[in-house]
Amino acid sequence: MSREESLEFLRRGFSEVSVRVSEDELREVVDRLDGVIGWLTYYGYSRSVGGRDLESIISDAVNLARQELDNFLSLRVSRRYRVVLRLLASGGVKEWGC
């Protein structure tokens, strides 16, 4: 989502559950989670239900993503997938085109 859509998504969600979050925090969340709706939802839920801070939520999100990747790779994924993922992670590949 765009930056404005992401901010509005979070504002509406917090409004629905009557949780107050500063605009500064919302902007930081959007900057760090880059408009990915799944991560914005994860943040909103964790923040509103558990009252957790941004750093602990992001730390848990990173660990969750790492576990998911490890699970995926443990399924005897071909060497080609591993090479592609390594290139993507290193910033060596910016687009899928030739």
Ordered by start, the domain boundaries in the chain are 3-90
Note the CATH number of domain 3-90. 1.10.8.60
* In contact, 11 and 26? CB cutoff 8 Å: yes
The answer to whether the Cα torsion of 60, 61, 64, 66 is positive or negative is negative
- Tell me the per-residue pLDDT of 13-39, one tens digit each, with 9 for 90 and over: 999 999 999 999 999 999 998 889 999
What burial class does residue 98 get, using C-beta atoms within 10 Å of its C-beta: 0-12 exposed, 13-18 middle, 19+ buried? exposed
- Tell me the per-residue pLDDT of 44-72, one tens digit each, with 9 for 90 and over: 999 999 888 889 999 998 899 889 888 87
Backbone torsions φ then ψ of 93, nearest 5 degrees = -125, 125
pTM higher than 0.75, yes or no? no
* In contact, 46 and 19? CB cutoff 8 Å: no
